[in-house]
Chain A
Amino acid sequence: MILRRIAAILFLPMMFAFGSGVYLYLGTLKSKVIKTRADLPTVTKPRLVLPGTMFVVQDGRLFKLKDGGFSEIGGPGDWSQPTLTPDHTRLVAVLRNGYSSDLYLLDLDGHIVKRLTKNDSRIVDYNHWAFYPRVSPDGSTLYYSYDGPKHVDSAPGDDLSIWSMPLNGAQYQARRRTDPYWYTGGDVSPLPLAGTALLYVQHSIDPSTAVHSQIRLQSRTGDLVGKPLTGLADDCSQPALSPDGTQLAMICTGGKQTARLEVAPFNGTSLGPARILLDGGLYASPAWSPDGQALAYFAPSGAAGHFELWWLAVPAPRILGVGRGRRLVDRRPLAAGDPRAGAGHAGRRPQCDLAPRLVLSKP
């Protein structure tokens, strides 16, 4: 009898342990998206070692990928869209705060050299946005998207126009270069060419009021609306010109929620037939390798995966067909003890608000 009681008493913890085990086991059956919430920065060791240096942003933090390793550069804040000056000695990047964004000139270690714009204001309505910085090939002029002038009617919104200012100048010297289609969000992604020509992306609507994106060429300063290089229904954007200026990579959606990564020959005034390199994914931010033989871009892995950095060798023009890029970076989270984990981390941001930039290695 006593033995039975002892056995029963011993059995109770076993039951408790078994019940707890079932509870914990059910927790392990959670799907991957629930279990692996991406709270930590996830830049980690790349799978490929590429020549040169690539600047990327993840979660508002600037990273430099060089010699097969990432190193964080720059101070705290919500950084995005880094771009290099043509001499590869400086970066221009966007720093967002809650209500506005500004452009900063940085050295290659991310230290602020100069604040280029001042768009913040204590009065909400007087805040401005500046995005998509690009420096002209001669290094003298900074192009960017800016939400000015503000609408003068009652609609509390604004559209981005392409503006330019001397890189070594001041914001009061800035001039508006394009006239956007109002209430579409406006013009983005300026890509200055040699001379005064400019590629950019305009948003506009068709007769059915569907919004489209279109890559346009502004040949002369003063032509406030450029000549379209892509069809309205192709919905192309994010142009990236090859180092020799003969090929234009772009993202096209055709009005769908999936995209194509395309490359088309460019002769300075028009585009030739585009080749589809990738189709059916959420591709973003294509950037050419210094030798013009490959493209880096962002895309999620799988239907419900996170955005990752990919690398794709661009086939010779005669080779047609849809390819597949190589994953450049594993997406394992940083270890909890990693000094990069959590530092300057102020909530998740659109992770694909990024622009990889590739530069040649210094000799």
Chain B
Amino acid sequence: MPQPLGSKDASLFRQVVRHYENKQHKKGIKTADQILRKNPKHGDTLAMKALIISNLGQQEEAFAMAKEALRYDMKSHICWHVYGLLYRAEKNYEEAIKAYRFALRIEPESQPIQRDLALLQMQMRDYQGYIQSRTTMLQARPAFRQNWTALAIAHHLAGDLEEAEKVLTTYEETLKSTPPVSDMEHSEATLYKISIMAEAGKLEKALEQLDIVGHRITDVLAVMEMKADYLLRLDRKAEAEAAYTALLDRNPENSMYYDALIRAKGIPDSDHKVLKALYDSWVEKNPRGDAPRRIPLDFLEGEDFKQAADAYLQRMLKKGVPSLFANIKSLYTNTWKRDTVQELVEGYVSVPQTNGSAEGEANGDNKEFLSSSHYFLAQHYNYHLSRNLTKAMEHVDKAIELSPKAVEYQMTKARIWKHYGNLEKAAEEMEKARQLDEKDRYINSKAAKYQLRNNNNDKALENMSKFTRNETVGGAMGDLHEMQCVWYLTEDGEAYLRQKKLGLALKRFHGIYNIFDTWQEDQFDFHSFSLRKGMVRAYVDMVRWEDRLRQHPFYSRAALSAIRAYLLLHDQPDLAHGPLPNGVDGDADSAERKKALKKAKKEQERLEKIEADKRAARKAASTKGGDEVKKEDPDPFGNKLVQTQEPLNEATKFLTPLLELSPKSIEAQNLGFEVYLRRGKYALALKCLSAAHAIDASNPTLHIQLLRFRKALNSLSEPLPPQVAEVVNAEFETLLPKAQNLDEWNESFLSTHKDSALHTQAALTCRQLLKADSKAQCEKDLTATLDSQVESIETALAGLQLLDEWNSDQTAKAAYAEKAKSKWPESSVFQLN
């Protein structure tokens, strides 16, 4: 029931609203209380008070109060609107939309409610609802251009490009004269319409429009880019050539422009002479540029390549450009080019540059050339396609001798140690590089990363803390979370995962998960902001980007690691109490194991206590000052996370966006199978197998999984429902037929891929699954892969981990590790503890 107030109270109520709008929360509450003293059951006032309290961060109280307000006045649009706003603050958008709809039913003319509803519809991608809302808003205020543009965006995103274009045109036709050039909203709306035409495939029409209005649009570069793009797509070659030439005049450092220019000119890929002449002409125009000098090295061959490479390398080495090798290495897939580059640079360092050392020393340029060349060769011999670590080390040492202060050289030395498989030494050398330039954050970040690769989380954080705001709640780690430093959280989590400290590992991965949630949330304000600013093309691109946000490799990597951690936790629930020493995880009931478990629990408690003390100390220190007290993390070690009773459900949370947005990732499909198999979701597990099979039919992990799936189907504790069984059996039949002799199948896989260590590892695992008594032989065969097939330390390490998975005994592991160690004598990674 509407609850009318006396005139004095009514004016007080208007004050409450004003206080709220001006964020004068205390005054607002005071005034509201004044009204409530006389009218304790006044719904609208109570609702406003709830809204203010919610803005002060007291969500629970606010909700209780808003509900009470609704009880008093179910027919008040204010009560419903506030209720919706509270849900929105909690990010429960679906409930918020419902509440707004109630409010709107009571007060259909209310602009604010309509607008709030529209914003949420956009956030929820309810395009049909959004179109409806924007249509209503347009009808209410057709004089505002924003309202037209917004409706066009609604149609555009809903996929109705024709309607979107029509709406924009309708508004344009109401304009009596062309707005001034300075009207950016007009400028952007015009470009927006043209881009919609192009998206609809009407390139001719888009181009026509660009020709008419392009000269008065202030985003000059965008007009040039669009025009060039459309012309080339329409195969209007002469014009496209002119357009790309104009773009290159503006920015000669964009290789896509050259690609396009060559297409427009119709120069065949094979005509190296003409191509080279074209690039040379751009070098002449921009003598300081890189692109036109570098690109020809991709296509030139024989003596031409050698000459061009020689000139390019010498020029860059003289300038001491640190990225030279990074710029060159993509040529190495061509082994002849690789060897030619090596020969050239070896030549630079072997010829005595200026005969006689006395003269040589006087010549500073020459010294720089020489040290740059050694630096180049160090990277060259450190690269996997041209690796010779002994030589790499020799060259880097020479380079360092010539320029002891060069951070890059010292960095490369650390990288060489990494490839030697000695992460401790690598971290040490990177730390030396850091000390050469303590004010540079880049080298600081690198040093921290190398500490993490060496599983030294504390040392890494100590390094990072030299550049973080350590007064943040949670210290340096708190700042890294707040600043959304995804790379560090990922590396930190992975280091904990390697150490089987699952709580902390999960803590970091959830940290990243939450950051992605925040990024998704971030778009909300722009639904209204961008309309006001008029920059609608960028806004539409943003909306579409948000829809594929978790496709970013940052997400995939963290999600894969999180899933691995949860699988480990599911398979070894005792890890919830921290890592157990190696060798005791064999027999579940052994006294030794129980002892170790007890010790791990104690350690966990000890760490918790230390942290609790620290927290208390920080709290005590920060009680004075600062009205805005940020909440301390109640679970800094992830102990709550790791004690989950449903690790597989948690894993699925990370998995779902992965499978949806990165279905082409074979790792995602591999892990998806593991999760679904453990959850007994056979159809979904099979779906992952089929997807993996389509990506790479000979993937080693897939090979093992096919066998495991067959075995799982053969030994179901209760049969699958008939329809599921039918589909699963039919589909799986195409991957691994039921009649197939599995031993033969596996041995044939083995012989097909006998040169690949990873495939051999997989086949040996399968052989054991098929014949448990073959373990001893498998262990021997696995160790034998170190003789020839295994080329990289990573693969060798994977073999050692396999022995863990097989539950092999210490003797077998030691034999493997010893052999690996003798193959890579400098390495430190083959440790058994």
A-B interaction: no
Interface residues of A (CB under 8 A from B): none
